Chains A and B, each alone.
Chain A
Amino acid sequence: MSQTSGQALLSIRDLKKQYDQPGGGELTILDIPALDVGAGEQVVLRGESGSGKTTLLHVISGIVPADSGSIRLEGVELMGFSEAKRDRIRAVKMGYVFQTFNLLPAFTALENVRLGMSFARLSGNSGSGDIERAAELLDRVGLGDRMHYLPSQLSVGQQQRVAVARALVNRPILLLADEPTANVDPSNQDRIIELIATQCRQENVAMLLVTHSDAVASRFDRIEQLSQINRAGK
């Protein structure tokens, strides 16, 4: 168990998540007594495949509900929120970088980034400043000259950079990154990690990155071993 000092941005207590097993019975995936992430803090959660890393991010982001426990974001208890409220919190407060980038193939790089903003607004309309913000972020991740490219016209590394820009465009307070370099060739891994870390620092965004890679984990000051904070399976 590890904790940040003072008021934590993200505070998890006694979090449990179980899934029904095909043969009957339930399988406990997550059983985390405590995990805190401070504002602007960058935390790496290292764990083996199948250790519940992705599930933890899904639960924190509200994609799937937890069974019990407490998840507080900026002191607000998220447990018990309806799905619609969780969607809203995710849209407004969180950014998400996926292992497989998950850019929408029909949309250009700029549109993919703007998409991150669209759902944050109740009306679904983006303001005039949205395009500038999205363009600025793409410029910062080195894709200023490829804004109007479709994902299929970008390299793997470029696609992940678009995904990083998309995760940050809505000025979230917490970035969740799920194995962001798992599908990137080794030469690009460092650049992606550096990009995420740098951009989060610039935007003062807390980061919770899960990875199975020691090399990736070693680049950050705070490393948590999921096997130590998750009692499930023990």
Chain B
Amino acid sequence: MNLLSIALRNLRYRKLASSLTALSMALGVALVVLVLTISGVIEKSLERTSNVGYNLIVGAKGSPLQLVFNTVFFLSQPIENVPYSYYMEYLPADGRLKEHARIGGELKEPQRPGLYSFLMQGGFAIPVCMGDYVGEFRCVATTPDYFGLLKHGDLNDREYKFSVGRNFVDYSEENGYFEAVVGSQVAQSMGLKLGDEIFASHGTESGETHGQGFRVVGILEPTGSPNDRGAFVNIEGFYLLEGHVAPDRDEDSGLEKRGTAQAPERSGALSKVRLPIEKREVTAILLKPNGFAAMSMEKQINKTKFAQAVSPIGQIEGLLGVFVRPLRWALLALTSLVVLVSAISILVSIYNSMNDRKKDIAVMRALGASRDHITAIILLESLLIAIAGGLVGWLVGHALGPLSNAWTMPTTGVKIDWLAVQSSWELWIVPGLVLLGTLAGAIPAMVAYRTPVAKNL
């Protein structure tokens, strides 16, 4: 028999006390792993999601974080809108002309390039209107470019694919302007299939439901992004619904002129007629300029009075730095305390057993065990409890993550993989446990070391 098997036998003999002590260590380590996993997943998810395929979001002046939360994560509420004509300032001359020709309405100098088009350097701008809901999910009105030009994934290199159907189009003979694409979770949660009609409710989940629906023509493959929780409708159809028409404003005061914002939906004019440019607004504009113009563009836009440009990555990094990471450290400190208390319980458990084991120790000494042998056996017992408890805790901590997917995925869009090491800090768990186990065993080992043999035989 070696010292390890002797230590194991001693632990088995006191299996209730050993198990309970190991359990407390398991709980502590599970909590540490859970905090590391969840914070790692949140951080990774935020970083990945903020890398959405566009560099800047332009919207009305207000909270930059709110603009990012609303546009990227479909959380919070939209800020104010900006005119559609402002969106067209990001288009080159031919783009403006095409848009004007396609939509119609009033636009000053449609032949000139947009004010910021030179900074776009051939990049793209995608308009987005938000504020409505489809069931509990956010309704995102946009152009087909949303799925045609944007990409997703960790490396932002994966094109959006449809598990069934196709992308919506600007106009189709069978559905007019009223086509929609839904995210995988929306389809699953609402039981949607191709050909179903979805109806947006205005402003809030419980708001008035529009009478005109959108035909589902495509269901997205799961992306692990907030887009899984979005109902995407054609912006052309969206503009035709009640409450989506920009009111006329007094040129001097900027105040809305009451009663001027009548939508085609109310007048029963849901036809091929598009809402004119001057009646349109957008909640956000997604920009991806080519080259390195994003930084200077952000500064230039932010100098203006009514619009702001924010970098989703910058905002998320700020959020991580101010909120997520400090919170993780606080939770980590708390859970580490639980581990420390568990280590103390190991100490107490073994220490309390020393009184009963003085005779056993004396017998082993009489059989030829040296003081070092006895010390090693006690330390091994402490280490075994710490490591066994820690291992169980590590497994439980990682198992709880995937088990929680059923509850967390629908709301966060984040999937926690089984045994995915999310943080390099986990590599410290084993040496940490060895250190704690050694420290916890040190005092009982010292007592064992000093046990007088002759007195206890």
B454 touches A118 (CB 8 A): no
Contact flag A61-B1 (CB < 8 Å), given A106-B13, A119-B373? no
A88 contacts B by Cβ under 8 Å: yes
> With A and B bound together, what is the CA distance between A124 and B371 in angstroms?
13
Q: How far is the CB of B374 from chain A (nearest CB, A)?
A: 10
B366 touches A61 (CB 8 A): yes
Which of the segments A67-75, A107-115, A200-208, A212-220 contacts the partner chain? A107-115
A106 touches B371 (CB 8 A): no
Give the number of residue pairs across the A-B interface with Cβ within 8 Å: 83
A115 touches B366 (CB 8 A): no
Checking B2, B9, B363, B367 against A124 with a beta-carbon cut-off of 8 angstroms, the contacting residue is B2
Residues of B within 8 A of A88 (CB): 368, 370
B345 contacts A by Cβ under 8 Å: no
A120 contacts B by Cβ under 8 Å: yes
A102 touches B370 (CB 8 A): no
> With A and B bound together, what is the CA distance between A106 and B369 in angstroms?
17
Q: How far is the CB of B244 from chain A (nearest CB, A)?
A: 78
Q: 1/0 per position for B105-148, CB-CB distance to A under 8 A?
A: 00000000000000000000000000000000000000000000
B149 contacts A by Cβ under 8 Å: no
A194 contacts B by Cβ under 8 Å: no
> With A and B bound together, what is the CA distance between A200 and B429 in angstroms?
53
Checking A90, A98, A103, A170 against B457 with a beta-carbon cut-off of 8 angstroms, the contacting residue is A98
Residues of A within 8 A of B365 (CB): 63, 87
Residues of B within 8 A of A98 (CB): 363, 366, 457
> With A and B bound together, what is the CA distance between A123 and B6 in angstroms?
14
A104 touches B373 (CB 8 A): no
B348 contacts A by Cβ under 8 Å: no
A64 touches B454 (CB 8 A): yes
Residues of B within 8 A of A123 (CB): 2
> With A and B bound together, what is the CA distance between A115 and B361 in angstroms?
12
B6 touches A90 (CB 8 A): no
Q: Give the number of residues in B that approach A within 8 Å (Cβ atoms).
A: 25
Q: Which of A55, A88, A102 has the most CB of B within 10 A?
A: A102
Chain A residues 79-120 with CB under 8 Å of chain B are 83-84, 87-88, 90-92, 96, 98, 102-107, 111, 114-120
> With A and B bound together, what is the CA distance between A64 and B455 in angstroms?
10
Residues of B within 8 A of A64 (CB): 453-454
Chain B residues 1-26 with CB under 8 Å of chain A are 1-3, 6, 9-10, 12-14
Size class of the A contact interface (CB-based, 8 Å) = 20 to 34
Chain B residues 79-99 with CB under 8 Å of chain A are none
Residues of B within 8 A of A124 (CB): 2-3, 373
Q: Which residue of B lies closest to A107 (CB)?
A: B9
A118 touches B2 (CB 8 A): yes
Checking A91, A118, A166 against B6 with a beta-carbon cut-off of 8 angstroms, the contacting residue is A118
A18 contacts B by Cβ under 8 Å: no
> With A and B bound together, what is the CA distance between A116 and B363 in angstroms?
10
B1 touches A84 (CB 8 A): no
B370 touches A115 (CB 8 A): no
Q: How far is the CB of B17 from chain A (nearest CB, A)?
A: 13
Checking A55, A96, A105, A111 against B367 with a beta-carbon cut-off of 8 angstroms, the contacting residue is A96
A104 touches B364 (CB 8 A): yes
> With A and B bound together, what is the CA distance between A105 and B453 in angstroms?
18
Residues of A within 8 A of B274 (CB): none
Q: What are 30 A-B residue pairs whose CB atoms fall within 8 Å in the complex? A: A61-B366, A63-B366, A63-B453, A63-B457, A83-B371, A84-B371, A87-B365, A87-B368, A87-B369, A88-B370, A90-B366, A90-B368, A91-B367, A96-B366, A98-B366, A102-B366, A104-B360, A104-B364, A106-B13, A107-B9, A115-B367, A116-B368, A117-B1, A118-B369, A119-B368, A119-B369, A123-B2, A125-B2, A126-B1, A166-B367
